[in-house]
Amino acid sequence: MHTDQSVIIAPPNRIRRPQDRSREVVQAALKLFVERGFAATKLEDVAREAGVSKGLPYLYFRSKEDLFKAVIAEAILEPLSLGEQYVAGFEGHSAELLRTLFARVRAFNDSPSGGVTKLVIGEAGNFPDVARYFIEEIDHRGRRLFETVLRRGVERGEFRPLADIPATVIALVSPLSMFAIWHRSLAPYDATCPTPNAFHDAHLDLVLAGLRP
């Protein structure tokens, strides 16, 4: 399905201008923030990477924090929106739906955009406004997506009754995020680290066994 990216990825406080090159700036910032970290990346570095003048990022973003929010939106909001559309149109067994969502999360975590989660968590204490934006616009929306799948499965008798679905969602998705962070930080130094496929398969096996009626 075609998605209007101008709607999906536009973060708050972006200033629209003729011949808008803001997305080029955001994509360059995404690359540098993930590679170097947020604090270590200067806006002039972003401009150089994007191939624009040093002052151009300031025409689109009022602050470096606003650019950070735009990077989060660029990396996550579109795949999240596509996931919501997929869930809304799915007609099969809820276990297969959950299996597909796990595969999508794995693909996202393995992509360059997957480094954004580690970046946000690492910078949350220094930039609380960005952390709040991530929680309110990304994390809560992602949790609701998985809540929809669990409620669907329970209502159809495909999953067992759950006492607290929101808490179950956190127990389900938090290991995925933590493995993605570990894989990008400590795993290169751990010879016993499982592959992403092995970890996701093992976690999904436990989840589906726990949900089985």
Domain ranges of the chain: 5-211
Beta bridge partners of 61: 14
Task: Report the half-sphere exposure of 45 (CA within 13 A, side-chain side).
Answer: 14
pTM value?
0.81
The pLDDT of residue 11 is above 80 = no
Asked whether residue 181 carries a pLDDT value surpassing 70, the answer given is: yes
Q: Which residues contact 127 (CB under 8 A, 6 or more apart)?
A: 38, 65, 68
CA distance linking residue 75 with residue 83, whole number of Å: 14
What is 5-211's CATH superfamily?
Answer: Tetracycline Repressor, domain 2 (1.10.357.10)
Instruction: Quote the pLDDT of residue 19.
Output: 63
Read out DSSP for 9-23?
S--TTBPP-TT--HH
